[in-house]
Amino acid sequence: MTTTASPRAAARPAAEEKPPHIGLLFAGLMVVMLLASLDQTILSTALPTIVGDLGGVDHMSWVITGYILASTVMMPVYGRISDLFGRKPVLLSAIVLFIAGSVIGAAAGSMSWLIAARVVQGLGGGGLMILAQASIADVVPARERGKYMGFMGAVFAVSSVAGPLLGGWLTEGPGWRWAFSINIPLGILAIAAVAAFLRLPKRPRDTGKRIDFTGMALLAAATTSLILVCTWGGSQYDWNSPQILWLCVAAVAGAAAFIVVESRAADPVIPLYLFKDRNFTLTTLAGLAVGVAMFGAIGYMPTYIQMVKGVDATEAGLLMTPMMASVLITSIASGQIVSRTGRYKLFPLAGMVVMGVGLWLMSSLEVADPTWLMCLYLAVFGAGIGLSMQILVLIVQNSFSHRIVGTATASSNFFRQVGATVGSAVVGSLFVSRLKDLLSENMPAVPGRATDAADPNSFTPESVQSLPDAFRDPIIQSYNDALLPIFLYMIPLAVLALLVLAFVVEKPLATRVDRDTVPADDAAATGRTPATGHGAATKNNAPDGDEEPAVTTGRLAVTTATAGAGHHNGASPLADGTRSAGPAPSAGAHAAAAAPSGERTGRKRRGRHAAPRHRA
């Protein structure tokens, strides 16, 4: 049954939601994304030289893990605070803190100072990506947001290519310290771009809100304990040692205390009602699994390429290009298709399949395999990343109202980064442990030089290539056998993510940005009735995805879960069951708002019933 779009729906196209300066705003956010993503990749090719100069491959994993840990802990903090006090001042503060960490890193004289610098960088970097994503959600409807998210994913891909290349060039030219110094002018440029172009619509100030310091402290303690278990277990301490066991107890106790505190906090840093939304829970679990596989593989491949293929840092960066090119292409293409069709569920499902295939192919590589074959396998793995990561963020943002979109985005990214941290730490620990064992088995027992050669702390790509064949070949084979089989262990994670994402409900993407949907805690104060649980006053907090009418601000909420996701080009701004699709009407406007909402609801239910279920 065909229903003609009402004049009111036609008069309010989604384009009206975008401010006239959207291009400049997006340019500023792209600079912020570049700053954050470039820093995560620029050290990858410089890392072998850095640890060789400062001493100690045993601490190499902490250069990566320290940044990820600090940024992970700060993600939900930035998300919640920006929802309360606005995006712009919080984002500017994050950039300043990131620049401070870069200054410390550029002047570091030891591994301890270098790791401290990475932690400070992470404290600022934790807010860069999530605040950029949340700022786009402030001004662009979910239906059109796919193409913007695709380009943001492309920034990550470009920086992942440019970062290793730039890091390699700096390492071989001016020196690795410039890998930190280059962040200073980029940071200043980001500050200027944000200050000039980030002009978000004014948001009502949440008066009386309090920052959940207790929840933040417990979150940091539990996360830190978990990462220390993954980093130290099996390498610095035995898995059954008192240190590891006490850290396990601390992680479990901290997580339990965090849940108790958050359930009672007036303004929790991670509201537990987020998990009542089915899509949030499923995509968060999938993102955690993907984070383990993605960062575990990406973090150590440049080092592997330098050692095994015998290339310098710049060439290692170039050999990562096929992987990131496939991320760029699939990320932009999937975002464009989502914006045009409104259908999105298929992309992360396909991404998990492709990622699993890529991990299997990478684990099968041998030292004698041609370089082009390795690049092809990396491209397959990258295609899986590009098809899934930004779409998962879009699904989360489409499930909640504007008032908590920053908190929801940050919380989802937090759990994905927990996976990234665990993945990086576990892969690093397993890699170093396996490498030591394999070197002791494979190296020839020659007095003097054999002992020195078997010490991985003294390895740099140049020193390995200068060794005689009797020493070089066992070292290269040990690197290959120490790292690549670990990728095979990650395939079950891709399978788990695939199974979880199969149950995601493909809710219609919103065509307008709702700025006045009332969260449950505010609804109690205003006398309005929220839809479900403690979430935004909307339908799709219902965990089973069934159709259920919701009372929002007097409008009839669209209650469709899966129907018509790809057929609402002429649909109303209420296409998303998450939101009341526009400014809350006054009491006198309720009757006028209900009629067109009812017409549109009928269109959204597979065309079976044209009449609305009831009126608010």
Averaged pLDDT, 65-80: 84
Q: Does residue 545 belong to any structural domain of this protein?
A: yes
| Whether residues 414 and 287 fall in one domain | yes
Name residue, tokens 């997006």. Answer: 26
Residue 568 has pLDDT above 60, yes or no: no
Domain that holds residue 244: 213-269
Q: pLDDT, tens digit, for every residue of 92-119?
A: 999 999 999 999 988 887 888 888 899 9
3-state class (DSSP) for residue 9? helix
> Which backbone phi and psi does 572 adopt, to 5 degrees?
-80, 170
From CA 118, how far away is CA 97, in angstroms rounded? 11
Q: pLDDT, tens digit, for every residue of 220-277?
A: 899 888 878 877 776 678 878 898 999 999 999 999 999 999 998 888 889 898 999 9
Q: Does residue 449 belong to any structural domain of this protein?
A: no
Q: pLDDT, tens digit, for every residue of 402-426?
A: 778 888 888 888 888 777 777 777 7
| Whether residues 415 and 494 fall in one domain | yes
- Name residues whose C-beta falls within 8 Å of residue 63's C-beta, 6 or more positions apart in sequence: 43, 47, 50, 51, 111, 114, 115, 118
Q: pLDDT, tens digit, for every residue of 152-169?
A: 777 877 777 777 778 878
| Whether residues 417 and 534 fall in one domain | no
In which band, very low, low, confident or very high, does the pLDDT at 8 lie, cut at 50, 70 and 90? very low
| Whether residues 229 and 294 fall in one domain | no
| Whether residues 318 and 193 fall in one domain | yes
Instruction: Return the pLDDT at 581.
Output: 38
- Within a 10 A sphere around the Cβ of 225, how many other Cβ atoms? 19
Q: Does residue 477 belong to any structural domain of this protein?
A: no
Averaged pLDDT, 467-476: 79
Q: What is the 3-state secondary structure (H, E, C) of 454-497?
A: CCHHHCCHHHHHCCCHHHHHHHHHHHHHHHHHHHHHCHHHHHHH
| Whether residues 322 and 249 fall in one domain | no
From CA 323, how far away is CA 159, in angstroms rounded? 12
In which band, very low, low, confident or very high, does the pLDDT at 486 lie, cut at 50, 70 and 90? confident
Averaged pLDDT, 531-557: 36
| Whether residues 490 and 540 fall in one domain | no
Q: pLDDT, tens digit, for every residue of 356-379?
A: 999 999 999 888 889 999 999 999
Q: pLDDT, tens digit, for every residue of 190-230?
A: 888 888 777 766 656 555 667 888 998 999 899 888 878 87
In which band, very low, low, confident or very high, does the pLDDT at 310 lie, cut at 50, 70 and 90? confident
From CA 436, how far away is CA 424, in angstroms rounded? 18
Q: Which of the pair, 211 or 601, is modelled with greater confidence?
A: 211
| Whether residues 281 and 254 fall in one domain | no
End-of-domain residue from the set 244, 269, 294: 269
Q: Tokens in use for 112?
A: 């301890």
| Whether residues 370 and 487 fall in one domain | yes
Q: Does residue 459 belong to any structural domain of this protein?
A: no
From CA 497, how far away is CA 507, in angstroms rounded? 19
Residue 134 has pLDDT above 60, yes or no: yes
Instruction: Return the pLDDT at 379.
Output: 93
How many structural domains compose the chain? 3
Q: Does residue 79 belong to any structural domain of this protein?
A: yes
Instruction: Return the pLDDT at 12.
Output: 40
